[in-house]
Amino acid sequence: MGFCFPGKGASGDLPPRPECAAHWHQALLAQLREVKLTLLIGQYAQRFGLGDAFGPTLTDTLLRWREYGPSVMPLPHPSPRNIAWFKRNPWFEAEVLPTLRTRVAVALQE
C-alpha cells in the first residue's frame, strides 16, 4: 500500500506509511489503462480502495464481497498469522475463492 517497507513492529510489520500511498498511488493508477480486476488484499488496501464502503471490520467487508462488483475483490492478507481467521471463516474458501479463480481467468483472457 505504501510502496515502501514501514519497518517491523511488536507483532509484525508496521502499518503502511500514509504519505507514501498519497504520493505514489494517484500517479501509478493514472498509468494503468486497462485494469480489469483489482485485488484489495488486507484492511489497508480495502480502506483505500473501498473508501466508505469498507465495513466496520475486515470480516464485515469480506462478507459483502459480492457488492463490490466484478472488477473488485476484497481479500484477507494471506499471512500465516491469519490461519485462525481462515479456520473461523470457511465460507471464504467455499464461496470467494472459486469466484476469484474465475475472475482472474477472465481478466487474463481479455
Q: How far apart are CA 107 and CA 89, in angstroms?
A: 27
pLDDT score recorded for residue 24: 85
Are 44 and 64 contained in the same domain?
Answer: yes
3-state secondary structure the chain: CCCCCCCEECCEECCCCHHHHHHHHHHHHHHCCCCCCEEEECHHHHHHHHHHHCCCCHHHHHHCHHHHCCCEEEECCCCHHHHHHHHHCHHHHHHHHHHHHHHHHHHHHC
Low-confidence ranges of the chain (pLDDT < 50): none
Same domain? For 85 and 47 the reply is yes
Same-domain pairing of 95 and 44: yes
Give the residue numbers spanning the domain of 70: 35-109
Whether residues 28 and 41 share a domain: the answer is no
Number of domains in the chain: 2
> Are 56 and 26 in the same domain?
no
**pLDDT tens by residue, 53-76:** 999 999 999 999 999 989 999 999
